Structure 1
Amino acid sequence: MASQWYSLVAQKLFLANTLLARLESDTKRSAAETEALSQGSAELLLRARQTLLVMIARYHQHKAEKPQTLAELEALFPYEVHETRLLRELAETSGSWWNHLDQVESALSQPPTTRKNVTEENIIAVSVEQGPDRSAATLRKTLAAMTELAKRLEEQHSEW
């Protein structure tokens, strides 16, 4: 049963990879198409992360629970399990793929900030758009790290 969840995680990661490949291609596209590819790949990575939590729950015989967050996954266990400890470390490590996805999720869940028009009086107040790096290269690093972890977990649990 858990390997079906691994297949679903792998599917989401594959689809994110497909969108990232399109984003990285040299074809000319509109800003809207570029943003759609970026957000689409980020959303697939977020969905893969959420599915990874369910996969881990299944590995530990929680057949009905579908944790949406790391805290919900941790709450399923009366003891610490290797996977939750590993994910908690990633969540608390600045620059990790989990931390990056937390930032991306937060940014994508908020309306864009309104910008002031640039005039001579307020030119200093106008700043570069803030937020997490959603470049193809950074999303690809996150994708690679997630893929590696999912494969490693599947291999460990298929041996048992």
Structure 2
Amino acid sequence: MASQWHSLVSQKLFLARTLLRQLDQPGRISAANEAELALGREAVLQGATELLLRSRSLMLIMLARFHQKKTEEPTSLNALALLIGEDSSDLSGLRELERRSGSWWQHLDQLEVAQSRPPATRKTVSPENIIAVSANAGPDRSAQALMKSLEAIKHFADDLEEQHSEW
């Protein structure tokens, strides 16, 4: 049963990878003008991000199934901890990723916050305020950064599947 969840996680990651590869092939996103091209790129980035976030959520359910929780569907690490206990090595691995700066877990947390809120209003630049203008870049939404997180999630999920299938 848990293997089905691993397959679902893998499927979402495969779809995200498929979207991100479209950005490497400029002719794949056909556009009549620059605005349409930018819109297509944004759609691909947001779609891939949503698939990565979904795969992370599904991984929590996969872990619950590995721990014989047949119906529960945790939506956070804290909910998973209540189900399987804080002393689980699976949970401690995820907690470490949650704390480690630059980890795929933190990257997805940042992307989730950025994608769940309206864009910040930016000041217009004029000669009077040019010194006071600063840019808040937000999380790295580049295809390379998303692909790096995708590969790390895939590796983590595959390791979990391998560990639990040995039992």
Q: Which residue of 2 aligns with 1:26?
A: 26
Q: Which residue of 1 aligns with 2:129?
A: 122
Note the alpha carbon deviations across 1:93-115, whole angstroms, 9 max, x for none.
00000011011101111110111
Counterpart residue type for residue 128 of structure 1: A
Counterpart contact for 2:12–2:54, Cα < 8 Å: yes
The total of aligned residue pairs comes to 160
Counterpart residue type for residue 145 of structure 1: A
Counterpart residue type for residue 4 of structure 1: Q
Which has the larger displacement, 122-131 or 75-84? Answer: 122-131
Q: What pairs with 1:11-160 in structure 2 (closer than 5 Å)?
A: 11-27=11-27, 29=31, 30-160=37-167
Q: 1:136 to 1:89 in 2, by over 3 A?
A: same
Q: Which residue of 2 aligns with 1:2?
A: 2
Q: Report runs of 4+ in structure 1 exceeding 6 Å deviation.
A: none
Q: 1:37 to 1:109 in 2, by over 3 A?
A: same
Note the alpha carbon deviations across 1:15-55, whole angstroms, 9 max, x for none.
00000101222336511111110111011000000000000
Counterpart contact for 2:60–2:73, Cα < 8 Å: yes
Which has the larger displacement, 29-38 or 98-107? Answer: 29-38
Give the Å deviation of 1:158. 1.1
Note the alpha carbon deviations across 1:101-152, whole angstroms, 9 max, x for none.
0111011111101112221111223333420001000101101011111111
Structure 1 unmatched runs, 5+:
none
Give the Å deviation of 1:77. 2.4
Which has the larger displacement, 19-28 or 150-159? Answer: 19-28
Tell me the SS of whatever aligns to 2:26: coil
Q: Name the TM-score, length of structure 2 as normaliser.
A: 0.91
Q: Name the TM-score, length of structure 1 as normaliser.
A: 0.95
Note the alpha carbon deviations across 1:50-84, whole angstroms, 9 max, x for none.
00000000000001110111111111124511110
Tell me the SS of whatever aligns to 1:115: coil
Structure 2 unmatched runs, 5+:
32-36
Distance 2:54 2:24 in 1: 21
